[in-house]
Amino acid sequence: MIYEAESGDIEICLTGESLISRKLSVFREEYFLKLREIILNADVSFSNAECLFQDYADYPNTYAGGGSGQGTYMAAPPESIEELRWLGIDIVSTANNHASDFGDQGIISNLEFLEESGMPHAGTGMNLAEARAPAYLDNPKGRIALMAAADWGPRGTGAEPWPFPMGVMAGEQSPYSIGRPGCNLVRHKTKFTVTESVYNELKKLGESLFNVIEQNQQINLFGSTFVVGKEFSMETIAEEEDLEENYKWMRDATKMADWTIFSFHNHGASNSPELPSSHTRTLAKGLIDNGADIFIGHGPHRDRGIEIYNGKPIFYSLGDFILQNDTPQWIPYDVMKRFGLGHSDTPSDFHEERKKRGWNSRVEGWESAIATCKFTEKKLREISLYPIDLGMGLPRSIAGRPVLAEPGSEVNERVLKRFQDMSKPYGTEINIEDGVGKIKIS
């Protein structure tokens, strides 16, 4: 063996959502620095940059976060890139529902700041090919490829699709067009199975009000498909073109790199907050079948289970890693108006009003874990889960920055128990050793 990368040995650290808006490098708590040490000691560390590195020079979009018009415009000072690098983050995803908070120019500015800093990134681009294409990071242990996507379609338990901002899918370049800045989006729709009596009523509704005709024993109504079954159920189905294009780029990445990671920001509809959507499971397994070494999900601001598929890890979601979405400096006036606020009110009034309405009031949004994946001779051998605490209930000036949850603490035990319970249906056993979750693969 001449080259170090030939060994097939590497440790990859994964974190969830980084909604960063403040400095990190000034702090010195013991369990914060221990967390940083874990991230730095990995050969490569990833995070989802769920923000736009932005100096407020770009025009805000109509809505932020692709939600109901009440989301935070997730601007992060451009120097936050170096703060993430100080923490040990080497490569980031930019595909998420905040990617279009400041319109097309905000996407462009974000890309420019990342390029200037030398931070590898994937998931958005000046056109669809750039958004889908892998980013590469050279490392002594081997070249790493990162691909990233977000989903677009019904969310929650099957409601209407996101409004406009989440729909900014990058445009494909052609002889006739320069393309369009945007995200690598995986579009999906819902398919509902209903009882025969309900189906007949929907059929009558569609025919009488919308001139919808039954085809192939199914009805397409309200952007969803309805079929007859013995009981009620729901599944989400991804656009086949989006699946195949991502599989194609993954196959390309395997020819260009030693290690491949796919990041997926998924808010798509599922039957339970703890469960991934069916299109996410389809995408994850399809990517591994096409060469991905790791699938890392995030998006619902909470953890989900872990599955080992063909010897490769699927993290259906790691929750919040940095949660500083209530300290961006400026808030557009139109979103403040939606909360009944006026010119005499300030950004902190907006954040207080959101808090009163229950924004991120669940404990699952304020605690999670980071994960390290150890590979030896190209085989996954061990996953370690390190619980983190983001300081739920603390003042805004303190909360949102992660520290390791001390072994034996309530947060540590709760996070690991949650992962154990959610991963068990996939046949994944998590043992606890000194406050760290361990998944060992023989």
What the block records as the tokens of 318 is 């790691």
Q: How far is CA 117 from CA 83, 107, 112, 265, 338, in A?
A: 11, 16, 9, 23, 36
pLDDT at residue 359, rounded to an integer: 75
pLDDT at residue 159, rounded to an integer: 64
The residue behind tokens 């979103």 is: 335
Q: Which positions ≥6 away from 255 have C-beta within 8 Å?
A: none
Q: What is the pTM of this model?
A: 0.96
pLDDT at residue 31, rounded to an integer: 98
pLDDT at residue 361, rounded to an integer: 80
pLDDT at residue 166, rounded to an integer: 52
Q: Which positions ≥6 away from 302 have C-beta within 8 Å?
A: 273, 274, 317, 319, 362, 364, 365, 368
pLDDT at residue 385, rounded to an integer: 98
Q: How far apart are CA 371 and CA 440, in angstroms?
A: 13
* DSSP state letters, 171-227: BPPBTTB--B-EE-EEEEEEEEEE-HHHHHHHHHHHHHHS----BTTBEEETTEEEE
Phi, psi of 87 (to 5 degrees): -70, -15
pLDDT at residue 4, rounded to an integer: 95
Domain 4-186+238-329+361-440: homologous superfamily in CATH: Metallo-dependent phosphatases (3.60.21.10)
Contact in structure between 186 and 151 (CB atoms under 8 Å): yes
pLDDT in tens, the chain (442 residues): 799 999 999 999 999 999 999 999 999 999 999 999 999 999 999 999 999 999 999 999 888 887 667 788 999 999 999 999 999 999 999 999 999 999 999 999 999 999 999 999 999 999 999 999 999 999 999 999 999 999 988 887 766 655 544 558 999 999 998 999 999 999 999 999 999 999 999 999 999 999 999 999 999 988 889 999 999 999 999 999 999 999 999 999 999 999 999 999 999 989 888 999 999 999 999 999 999 999 999 999 999 999 999 999 999 999 999 999 999 999 999 889 988 999 999 989 998 988 888 777 899 999 999 999 999 999 999 999 999 999 999 999 999 999 999 999 999 999 999 999 999 999 999 999 999 999 999 8
Q: How far apart are CA 47 and CA 92, in angstroms?
A: 5
SS3 75: strand
pLDDT at residue 167, rounded to an integer: 55
pLDDT at residue 108, rounded to an integer: 97
Contact in structure between 64 and 165 (CB atoms under 8 Å): yes
pLDDT at residue 82, rounded to an integer: 98
Residue closest to 380 by CA, chosen among 431, 274, 308, 429: 308
- Start-end of CATH 3.60.21.10 domains in the chain: 4-186+238-329+361-440
pLDDT at residue 68, rounded to an integer: 67
